Amino acid sequence: VVFHARFIVGHRESRESQILREFGPLSTAQERRGKVVVATQVIEQSLDVDFDFMVSDLAPIDLIVQRAGRLRRHPRTEEGDPISSPDRRSGPETLFVYGPKWQEEPSENWFEECFSKAAYVYPAHGKLWLGAQFLRKEKQIIVPEKSREMIEYVYGDDSEDRVPQGLQSKEEAAYGEDLSQGNAAYLSALPLLESRLTGDAYYCSSTLQWEADREFATRLTHNQHRLRLVNWRKGKFVPLGQEEGEPLQWELGEISISHLGFKGSDPRRLTDEQQEAFIETTELPQNRYSTVLYAIPQVDDSWLIPVEMKTGFETWRYSLRMGLQNQGGRDE
């Protein structure tokens, strides 16, 4: 089972239900046997699941602890059936952490050479190195007894002195980005004030940047695009994932991506009738803050999605099994 953030809302909900059924508190040995979940960091906190065995890429130490919390989370028999008494599975809880080859004096690209994409997700490579060093030394995670020692080792006031010279520039860049994001969050905040007349509390804009129709995210991300996938059905566009005969719910086809070069939909494959209907769909009030993309169904439970990039036109693929994938390559 593949689980990540690049499934549309409708499919992600069904995927979550499947994972909870097979790995949740009430899952049985029969339901769990022979199953593997391949997931991104979205599974760290969002689902109450437990696994018998886990492999994780190197990540910030606090996230490693979060992931370890999904190991044998619920008591079970040796076979894997749920019980109310203490866990009866034999052997220690085992978490394998996969990361770059260990170097006492790593180069600047130590983490990036192993995880080219994760290097942008976790830019503080010095702290990643400190977390790996702590795990190499301790060879186990003991919570809560050693939680403070572990966090202080990586994030404490003197932790910067332990970061190798080769990773100092990465740490400084990550620190600068943290300061920048902190300022952005401050400027986006609405202070809670008290009315002099009534004593009631109310929110008020602290800057002149607030507008009635302006949106602010709860998380700071770069070049975030909210997409809504639709497909052509019986002479009109409907949300991808929409059940036949149900009221239209445009959010069912919603998915968010971060992409520097994304511009919008490529309308060249639409007929005249479809182009007119597509424009009407994009102009609906419900889709005001989203980019609508049309999906062309294929025979294998997947859809092709023509998109326009800053560098030209591309075709992405969305499938029930893998979610949204950027195929790469340019269309002529």
Q: Are residues 138 and 245 in the same domain?
A: no
User: What is the structure's pLDDT at 197?
Assistant: 74
Task: Summarize pLDDT for 63-92 with one digit per residue, the tens.
Answer: 999 999 999 999 999 999 999 989 999 988
User: What is the structure's pLDDT at 331?
Assistant: 55
3-state secondary structure of 316: strand
Phi and psi of 15, rounded to 5°?
Answer: -65, -40
Task: Summarize pLDDT for 138-168 with one digit per residue, the tens.
Answer: 998 888 888 999 999 999 999 999 999 999 9
Determine, yes or no, domain membership for 199.
no
User: What is the structure's pLDDT at 41?
Assistant: 87
Q: Are residues 14 and 143 in the same domain?
A: yes
Q: Are residues 123 and 240 in the same domain?
A: no
Q: Are residues 127 and 259 in the same domain?
A: no
Q: Are residues 139 and 263 in the same domain?
A: no
Determine, yes or no, domain membership for 58.
yes
Q: Domain range spanning residue 228?
A: 224-325
Determine, yes or no, domain membership for 320.
yes
Number of domains in the chain: 2
Q: Are residues 138 and 271 in the same domain?
A: no
Instruction: For residue 223, name the pLDDT band (cuts at 50, 70, 90).
Output: low
Q: Are residues 284 and 158 in the same domain?
A: no
Instruction: For residue 203, name the pLDDT band (cuts at 50, 70, 90).
Output: low
Determine, yes or no, domain membership for 299.
yes
Contact call for residues 36 and 22 (beta carbons, < 8 A): no
Q: Which of 144, 163, 180 is the last residue of a domain?
A: 180
**293 backbone φψ class: left, alpha, beta (φ>0; ψ -120 to 50):** beta
Q: Using the structure block, give the residue that is written with the tokens 């902190």.
A: 182
Q: Which of 121, 145, 180 is the last residue of a domain?
A: 180
Task: Summarize pLDDT for 231-251 with one digit per residue, the tens.
Answer: 999 999 999 999 988 999 999
- 9: pLDDT strictly greater than 90: yes
User: What is the structure's pLDDT at 214?
Assistant: 57
The three-state DSSP-derived secondary structure of 53-100 is CEEEECCCHHHHHHHHCCECCCCECCCCCECCCCCCCCCCCCEEEECC
Q: Are residues 28 and 157 in the same domain?
A: yes
User: What is the structure's pLDDT at 327?
Assistant: 59
Q: What mean pLDDT comes out for the span 50-60?
A: 96
- 216: pLDDT strictly greater than 70: no
Alpha carbons within 13 A on the beta-carbon side of 239 = 25
Rg (CA), the chain: 24
Reply yes or no: is the peptide bond before residue 297 cis, omega within 30 of 0: no
Share of residues in the chain with pLDDT > 70 (%): 91
Determine, yes or no, domain membership for 81.
yes
Q: Using the structure block, give the residue that is written with the tokens 């909900």.
A: 13
Q: What mean pLDDT comes out for the span 299-314?
A: 92
Contact call for residues 256 and 5 (beta carbons, < 8 A): yes
Q: Are residues 165 and 259 in the same domain?
A: no
Looking at every residue in the chain, the average pLDDT score rounds to 89
Q: Are residues 310 and 170 in the same domain?
A: no
β-pairing, 224-233 vs 296-297, is: unpaired
Q: What mean pLDDT comes out for the span 205-227?
A: 62
Q: Are residues 249 and 163 in the same domain?
A: no
Determine, yes or no, domain membership for 191.
no
- For residue 98, CA distances in Å to 18, 125, 143, 161 come to 27, 15, 21, 25
Task: Summarize pLDDT for 241-295 with one digit per residue, the tens.
Answer: 999 889 999 999 999 988 768 889 998 999 999 999 999 999 999 999 899 999 9
Determine, yes or no, domain membership for 332.
no
Instruction: For residue 200, name the pLDDT band (cuts at 50, 70, 90).
Output: confident
Separation between Cα atoms, residue 29 and residue 138, nearest integer Å: 33
User: What is the structure's pLDDT at 172?
Assistant: 92
Write down the pTM of the prediction.
Answer: 0.82
Separation between Cα atoms, residue 74 and residue 51, nearest integer Å: 9
Determine, yes or no, domain membership for 185.
no
Between residues 230 and 208, the one the model is more confident about: 230
- 46: pLDDT strictly greater than 90: no
Structure tokens, 217: 């995210």
Q: Which of 155, 180, 205 is the last residue of a domain?
A: 180
User: What is the structure's pLDDT at 330?
Assistant: 55
Q: Are residues 151 and 234 in the same domain?
A: no
